[in-house]
Structure formats: C-alpha cells, structure tokens
Amino acid sequence: MNEKSLYERLGGYDGIDGFASNLLPRLQADPQLGRFWQNRGADGLAREKQLLIDYLCASAGGPMYYTGRDMKTSHKGMKISASDWTIFLGHAGATMDALGITAQERGEIAAFVSSLKADIVEA
Ligand code: HEM
C-alpha cells in the first residue's frame, strides 16, 4: 500500500500544474469542445485554469483549499453531452500518456473523474 497521497505521487503542485497546462490547450483546440472556450478573455481563462489546478490539488490530497464552485454549479447550463464527455476522456488520456503517468495513478484519476460525470454531463 502506497502511503503517499495522489497529490504527492503526481508531483505536487508543479505536477498538477503541468497536467492542467497540458490538458487545457487540447480541450480548447478540439473541434467539438472548443465552443466551450470561444470568446473568453485571457484573464477569464487564466482564472479558470487556476481554479482547475486548485480543485485537482485539493481533491488529490494536497494542502489547498478550493474556493471555486462545485462541479454541478460551474457546468450547469453548458449542455455538456455524453459525446463531449467521451472526447474529454480521450484528451485526459492523451495528457496522462504525455506526462508518463503510470497505471496506479491513472486508475485513481479515472475513478475520480468518473465520479464527477453525473454532475457535469447534462445533455
Ligand atoms: C467535457 C468536459 C468539460 C467541459 C467541456 C468543461 C468546461 C468548463 C468551462 C467552459 C468552464 C468555465 C465556466 C465559467 O467560467 O463559467 C469550466 C469550469 C470548471 N471546470 Fe470544467 N469542463 C469539463 C469537465 C471538467 C472536469 C472533469 C473537471 C474536474 C476534474 C472540471 C473542473 C472545472 C473547474 C474546477 C472549473 C472552475 C469552477 C469555477 O469557476 O468556480 N471540468 N469547465
């Protein structure tokens, strides 16, 4: 049994910052998902990225207090579909490949992300 938190095993704050920095451009450049980030200002994008990093750090057992909104509130009304979700999972997998995240951590990340699906997918 590994006693280190997922946060520590992912490389702490810098590891999770690297994860978000790799994933977000993939989502924003995707032909189907790009619409969610169209016409957003640079400051809004930077703020949202920081909230994602804080949320992931806090959820993985890091010493952060997440000050953003919960997943249901922050995605409500975007009409994120099951098809959008499948594409999102593909990009998350590509990010994990790119960062060399190993099987144990991949499994924990996949289980965590799956637990959010019902709050995020609505159409
Ligand atoms: C298809 C999947 C997803 C799409 C299209 C999506 C899209 C978005 C967009 C456009 C925003 C900005 C909302 C705003 O500024 O009002 C947002 C916020 C956010 N998303 Fe997602 N998201 C997805 C999945 C996820 C997942 C799986 C997570 C967590 C692992 C997540 C975490 C967050 C967080 C923490 C915020 C900021 C909340 C806040 O503003 O208080 N999202 N998402």
Residue nearest to atom 23 of ligand 1 (CA): 120
Atom of ligand 1 nearest to the CA of 33: 5
Residue 94 has pLDDT above 80, yes or no: yes
Ligand 1: centre distance to CA 3 (Å): 30
Tell me: the pLDDT tens digits for 36-78? 999 999 999 999 999 999 999 999 999 999 999 999 999 999 9
Ligand 1: centre distance to CA 75 (Å): 6
- Cβ-based neighbours of 19, under 8 Å, separated by 6 or more: 10, 56, 95, 99
CB distance 84 to 97 below 8 Å: no
The CB of 60 under 6 Å from ligand 1? The reply is no
CA distance 101 to 121: 26
pLDDT at position 85, please? 98
Ligand 1: centre distance to CA 112 (Å): 15
Domains in the chain with CATH codes: 10-120 (1.10.490.10)
Ligand 1: centre distance to CA 1 (Å): 32
Instruction: Specify the DSSP class assigned to residue 33.
Output: T
pLDDT at position 27, please? 98
Q: Where residue 1 falls among pLDDT bands split at 50, 70, 90?
A: low
CB distance 60 to 24 below 8 Å: no
Number of continuous H segments (helices) and E segments (strands) in the chain: 6, 0
- pTM (2 decimals)? 0.96
